[in-house]
Amino acid sequence: MNTEDVVVPATGNDGELEVIEISVSVNSDVDVDETIVVLESDKATVEVPSPKQGKVLGISVSVGDKVKEGAAILTLELSSAVDSSDKNEPPQKRNPEPEPAPTPTPVDNKENKYLSQKDNAVSIPVTQGTVHAGPSVRKFSREHGVDLGRVSPSGPKHRILVEDVSAYIKQQVQHAQHSVGSTDSSMLINKALPDFSQYGKTSTSSMSSVQYKTAENMQRSWSVPHVTQFDEADITDMEVFRKQQKTIAESRGLKLTPIAFILKACAYALQALPQFNVSLDLSQKQLIQKHFIHIGFAVDTPHGLFVPVIRDVDQKNIWQLAAECQDLANRAKEKKLTPSEMQGGCFTVSSLGALGGTCFTPIVNTPEVAILGVSKAQMKPIYVEGDKFEARLMLPLSLSYDHRAVNGADGARFTTLLTKVMGDLRELLL
Ligand code: CAO
């Protein structure tokens, strides 16, 4: 077996150089002039090319080691066709990868074309070990503050090209511009996620625009100081009434569900307690009171969550509300809502009643200041008078509100009023 030890060549640098990258691994095949290690001094980065073609038998250095001219780097098992006369010559300019500007800047060692000055250096977290990039690419990335470990390589043998760094910078700039004026999307960007595939099989898919928008809205709303007030409305009589209307509803082509009554009850409570029908403008230290009652309701669809808004709920009767709910929910499922149909809400209802659950803590749909969560109605024994209990149908309500706009006592007033009007529809229907 014909072997050869490859050592650190003359680099024009008398001091120590740090091994910042090992570009090959044991048992890998290397060509003449292929980079085997990258060394760095405080002034320059040096790529050391292989003087021969062969297979790497062993590597004598590790990333972080400090080495000088003549120090052993690795041992090669030479290919049979190799001419051994050119042993350990200083690094020569080889057929470099295409590297647009900036080009490497030679330093005082005229022979060494691989050196690049480490000017304008900024502190970049360096991903160790797996980055393959030439000196000019490293210089370019340093100048722009790019961690090469985050850049996808497109060059031969997974080398990072200047174009790859440019594409990464462009992507980051576009993302930053997109975030401005919407929400603080940077908060949505995960810091570095672990590689989950080390724990088991994974797969990746892109988020839909609806999913991403929902995530942005939730992130923004999450900054609101929330309180959730729970209560239960006795809807036994309301349900008797609703069921009595079923045939009429069918003749109108409608499905009359509790949501129409809930919307009407919310409009009633918003009229009685207008402090829930505001938005806060803290930058102007202003409270914006709305003198209209537009209520959104969450619709679960295969494409994600939509919140169409019904205008002037206080001025509409139960049939009108049921018809609008049905139309908007159907069109949400078909992705046929217009943007204006999802804007202008003062308050939101999120009904999970058909799905189950005893209560939940909905997130306020900012800049609104309150949202009502509705869970599944259940028959419960309710204490009525004397020692008597009656079976009543109880509807769980969860009112979340922005505690900067609404006081706790008002939260309790709001749910108490809701339970009152849902328990006795007469006031509501007048
Ligand atoms: N308790 C018990 N039963 C209820 C109920 C409740 N709170 N609310 C509805 N139901 C019943 C309905 O009466 C209907 O039964 P009947 O046919 O016997 O009358 C059945 O459940 C199905 O109702 P529905 O879901 O078709 O209609 P709906 O008007 O109650 O709801 C809508 C419409 C659009 C609100 C609902 O389809 C929906 O999308 N809900 C999910 C909202 C959501 O995802 N919220 C979370 C947002 S935050 O992540």
* Angle subtended by helix axes 135-143 and 162-179, to nearest 10: 20
Give the per-residue pLDDT at 86.
Answer: 45
Nearest atom (ligand 1) to Cα of 350:
45
Report the relative pairing of strands 286-289 and 278-281 from DSSP bridges.
antiparallel
* Cα 210 to ligand 1 centre (Å): 21
Give the per-residue pLDDT at 430.
Answer: 67
Answer for the pair 294, 311: CB distance below 8 angstroms, yes or no: yes
Cβ neighbours of residue 75 closer than 8 Å, sequence gap 6 or more:
3, 4, 5, 6, 56, 57, 58, 60
Nearest atom (ligand 1) to Cα of 395:
7
What single string gives the DSSP state of each residue in 261-277? HHHHHHHHHHHH-GGGS
Cβ neighbours of residue 262 closer than 8 Å, sequence gap 6 or more:
349, 351, 372, 374, 422
pTM check: above 0.75: no
What single string gives the DSSP state of each residue in 209-239? HHHHHHHHHHHHHHTS-EEEEEEEEE-HHHH
Give the per-residue pLDDT at 106.
Answer: 31
Closest residue (by CA) to atom 20 of ligand 1?
354
- Give the span between the Cα atoms of 264 and 235, in whole angstroms: 14
Nearest atom (ligand 1) to Cα of 297:
35
Give the per-residue pLDDT at 112.
Answer: 35
| Bridge partners, 66 (sequence order) | 18
Write out the two tokens for 204. 């990746």
* CA count, 13 A, side-chain hemisphere, 114: 28
* Cα 260 to ligand 1 centre (Å): 11
Answer for the pair 150, 173: CB distance below 8 angstroms, yes or no: no
Nearest atom (ligand 1) to Cα of 363:
48
Answer for the pair 69, 9: CB distance below 8 angstroms, yes or no: yes
Residues assigned a catalytic role: 403
Task: With H, G, I as helix, E, B as strand and everything else as coil, classify residue 347.
Answer: strand
Cβ neighbours of residue 280 closer than 8 Å, sequence gap 6 or more:
286, 287, 288, 367, 369, 402, 404, 405
Between the CA of residue 114 and those of 99, 105, 236, what are the distances in Å? 13, 8, 84
* Cα 321 to ligand 1 centre (Å): 14
* Cα 290 to ligand 1 centre (Å): 28
Is the CB of 137 inside a 6 Å radius of any atom of ligand 1? no
Answer for the pair 7, 50: CB distance below 8 angstroms, yes or no: no
Residue 300 exposed, middle or buried by CB count within 10 Å (0-12, 13-18, 19+): middle
Write out the two tokens for 357. 């659950």
- Give the span between the Cα atoms of 67 and 146, in whole angstroms: 26
Per-residue model confidence as pLDDT tens for the chain (430 residues):
899 999 998 887 778 888 888 888 999 999 888 889 888 876 667 888 899 999 999 999 998 899 998 999 999 999 876 544 444 444 443 334 433 342 222 333 333 333 333 333 333 333 334 577 777 788 788 888 898 888 888 887 678 888 999 989 988 887 776 554 445 555 666 668 889 999 999 999 999 999 999 999 999 999 999 999 999 999 999 999 999 999 999 999 999 999 999 999 999 999 999 999 999 999 999 999 999 999 999 999 999 999 999 999 999 999 999 999 999 999 999 999 999 999 999 999 999 999 999 999 999 999 999 999 999 999 999 998 888 999 999 999 999 999 999 999 999 999 999 999 999 998 887 6
- Give the span between the Cα atoms of 165 and 75, in whole angstroms: 33
Give the per-residue pLDDT at 251.
Answer: 94
Q: Where are the beta strands (DSSP E) in 87-202?
A: 116-117, 132-133, 159-160
Is the CB of 63 inside a 6 Å radius of any atom of ligand 1? no
- Give the span between the Cα atoms of 34 and 51, in whole angstroms: 8
- Give the span between the Cα atoms of 289 and 297, in whole angstroms: 21
- Checking 377-386 for CB contacts under 8 A at 24+ apart, the result is 377/235, 377/239, 377/258, 377/353, 380/232, 382/234
Give the per-residue pLDDT at 254.
Answer: 94
Is the CB of 359 inside a 6 Å radius of any atom of ligand 1? no
